[in-house]
Amino acid sequence: MQELDKVEINFDASGLWILNIALAIVMFGVALGIRLEDFKQLFKTPKLLFVGILSQFILLPLLTFFLVVIFHPKPSIALGMIMVAACPGGNISNFITHLAKGNTVLSISLTAFATFIAVFMTPFNFQFYGSLYPPTAEILNTVELNPFELLKLVILILGIPLVLGMFFRYKKEEMADKFSKILKPFSIIIFVIIVVMAFSKNLQVFNKYIHNVLFLGILHNILAIILGFTIAKLFRLSFVNQKTLAIETGIQNSGLGLLLIFTFFNGLGGMAILVAFWGIWHIITGLVIAFFWSYKATKK
């Protein structure tokens, strides 16, 4: 393996526990804003549900695999790209969709549904595409990734907080609304804290290798946004829903990706740097396109 593929980002056990708890709290906060009616509404419009799943869980991992094959990045960076594509949509997508004057209800519903199926699709897509590309398959073989352990962690971090949050809202709706307003901005703050925690003791490593992921990280994110927008357009969804699908596909749960990397890959350099950079960059691109679309909508 190349030099970057041997570098590890140090993250101690206490930091890993904090990361686990923080992500669970964020997912609980997302679930506080979800009602069973949101799911019912989504199932009443199966076309929207189909396009959302197609874009995020089928086409984005496939697009990522093609990018890896075309550009031949260092194996650990390639595995980081596959990890990002395998994760469900990020929880800040709802906030950015609202800013962009997209379909916020659709965004929340898709985030919730994507989180549920990510319990199975995230481990599957990561294992499938990671094993399909020989250089990344070599890393997976050396790490001896246990798919069942991966599935268990995803259930603990995504599935259980989501169910508990929705149950809490069902029982205490007014209180859930209050907590939800507090926890929404927390989702952005917590990711920044996660990145700072992860790299505060590894700044030399980050500065030394960040140039390896800049081009691919930016390209990958921009293509993900274009993919979501284009697929929605091809299926003749409204412009409001096109914006929503673009954001849902381009904003990934990189916090979950980092957790999986620190848990199963000991903070493997290329993976951790790529996913951390994506997490920062997708907030920038999300806000830029949100303010652009908001400005255009206001002007009209």
- Domains contained in the chain, CATH given: 3-299 (1.20.1530.20)
Distance from C-alpha of 300 to C-alpha of 294, rounded to nearest angstrom? 10
SS3 285: helix
d(CA 253, CA 227): 17
pLDDT over threshold 80, residue 18: no
pLDDT bucket at 35, cuts 50 / 70 / 90: confident
**Number of residues that make up the chain:** 300
Q: In whole angstroms, how large is the CA radius of gyration of the chain?
A: 18
Q: Is the pLDDT of residue 85 over 90?
A: yes
Check pLDDT > 90 for residue 58: yes
* Lowest-confidence segment of 2-16, 158-172, 261-275 by average pLDDT: 2-16
Separation of alpha carbons 96 and 93, rounded Å: 5
Q: What is the pLDDT of residue 255?
A: 78
User: What's the mean pLDDT when you consider all of the chain?
Assistant: 81
What is the average pLDDT across 57-65?
95
The residue assigned the tokens 């890993």 is: 16
Which of 19-28, 128-137, 221-230, 231-240 is predicted with the least confidence, judged by mean pLDDT? 19-28
Give the residue, 289 or 256, on which the prediction is more confident: 289
The whole-number average pLDDT for the span 74-95 is 87
Of the candidate ranges 208-212, 221-225, 271-275, the one whose mean pLDDT is the lowest: 208-212
Distance CA 156, CA 153 (A): 5
Least confident of 40-44, 108-112, 127-131, 282-286: 40-44
Q: In whole angstroms, how far apart are CA 206 and each of 1, 14, 216, 266?
A: 19, 21, 16, 15
Is the pLDDT at 229 greater than 90? The verdict is yes
**What is residue 184's predicted lDDT score, i.e. its pLDDT?**
65
Rounded Cα gap, residues 86 and 68, in angstroms: 14
In this prediction, residue 13 has a pLDDT band, given cuts at 50, 70 and 90, of low
Tell me the average pLDDT across 6-28. 65
Within 10 angstroms of residue 207's Cβ, the number of other Cβ atoms is 10
Mean pLDDT value of segment 219-229: 95
pLDDT reading at 183 higher than 50: yes
Residue 1 has pLDDT above 50, yes or no: no
Q: Which two tokens stand for residue 96?
A: 């950015």
What residue spans of 36-103 are helical by DSSP H?
Answer: 36-44, 46-53, 60-71, 75-86, 93-99
- At 268 the three-state DSSP class reads strand
Which pTM value belongs to this model? 0.83
Confidence of residue 248 (pLDDT cuts 50, 70, 90): very high
Helix H or strand E segment including 258 = helix 254-264
Distance CA 196, CA 192 (A): 6
- On the question of pLDDT at 153 being above 60, the answer is yes
Q: How confident is the model at residue 186 (pLDDT cuts 50, 70, 90)?
A: low
